[in-house]
Amino acid sequence: MTDDNCKPSSAPVFRRGPIRAPTDKATEEHILDIRNWTKRLLSFRVTRPAAFRFQPGQFARLGIASEKGGMIWRAYSMVSASYDEYLEFFSIIVPDGAFTTRLARFVPDDPLHVEKQPYGYLTTSRFVGGQDLWMLASGTGIAPFLSILRDPEVWERFDNLVLAYSVREAGDLAYRKEIAALARDELFAPNGHKLRFAPIITREHVPGMLDRRLTELLMDGKLEKFVSLPLDTERARILVCGNPQMLDDMRGVLTGRGLRPDRSREPGHFAFENYW
């Protein structure tokens, strides 16, 4: 692998043995469909490797062949449900980004490599107990929560599901219709109103939406007021995904409220996924 941005904590344990070429660990798949949300945001669907299984909230490592030879690998959270026949991802296009400038030129049928193994621990199965699941996302950090919300077990396990999704401009708020449809779907919401959605636009004021930083909204109680649910230390389990600054600030806010990080030897309240 020539390029790697996965966090060491998410890395799998490799057994000693001969170094294998990336192709042993990955399969060549094909782009099925591309959906452009804005000039800088797109979703894409890929054929699913037959043996690829994952837990909602996990990520895949995707590879694009570089013109110089070799592969460029990047981590991408699955947006699709664990039972969908395809894999769907949601991506930012980073100006001059090695992976995403190539991705932006993709058309259906283009090849994309997918590592055979999924990664990551931003899953609900990691938590002990909890009745309210809080999912806090900035930007493309919404991706794993869309997969989690498509899991009927999550709707059965938790009494309340809170999704806070923060973007800069209203046009960046992707998947709004899908989120609204999930809240109405009889399969997922048999008792109705379980999903409490808080859209946040930080650089514009849009009626009916919050307009401050996620951390500020938690500090001054406005998020809880908006979703009509207190963030209760006993009941809440919190997943946070997005940019490193938001995660750092959020860690301070949550620990300041008496919540603890969830660790394998010490069950707690929250877990983070850092995108860069």
Nearer to ligand FAD, 57 or 130 (CB): 57
Contact 65, 57 (CB under 8 A): no
Nearer to ligand FAD, 72 or 198 (CB): 72
Q: Which two tokens stand for residue 45?
A: 């669907």
Using CB under 6 A, list all residues that contact ligand FAD: 5-7, 10, 59, 74-77, 89-92, 94, 97-100, 120, 139-140, 143, 273, 275-276
Alpha carbons 183 and 197: distance in angstroms, whole number: 9
> C-beta of 104: minimal distance to ligand FAD in Å?
9
Nearer to ligand FAD, 5 or 36 (CB): 5
> C-beta of 34: minimal distance to ligand FAD in Å?
14
> C-beta of 105: minimal distance to ligand FAD in Å?
12
The residue behind tokens 């949550």 is: 254
244 backbone dihedrals φ, ψ, rounded to 5°: -60, -35
Q: Which two tokens stand for residue 207?
A: 């009626």
**DSSP symbol at 192:** S
Nearer to ligand FAD, 71 or 92 (CB): 92
> C-beta of 159: minimal distance to ligand FAD in Å?
28
Nearer to ligand FAD, 72 or 154 (CB): 72
SS3 125: helix
Q: Where are the beta strands (DSSP E) in the chain?
A: 26-38, 41-47, 59-65, 71-77, 86-92, 111-115, 132-138, 160-167, 195-201, 236-242, 270-274
Nearer to ligand FAD, 10 or 222 (CB): 10
> C-beta of 9: minimal distance to ligand FAD in Å?
10
**What region does 96 belong to: left with phi over 0, alpha with psi -120 to 50, or beta?**
left
Residue 103: closest CA among 114, 115, 91, 113? 91
> C-beta of 238: minimal distance to ligand FAD in Å?
17
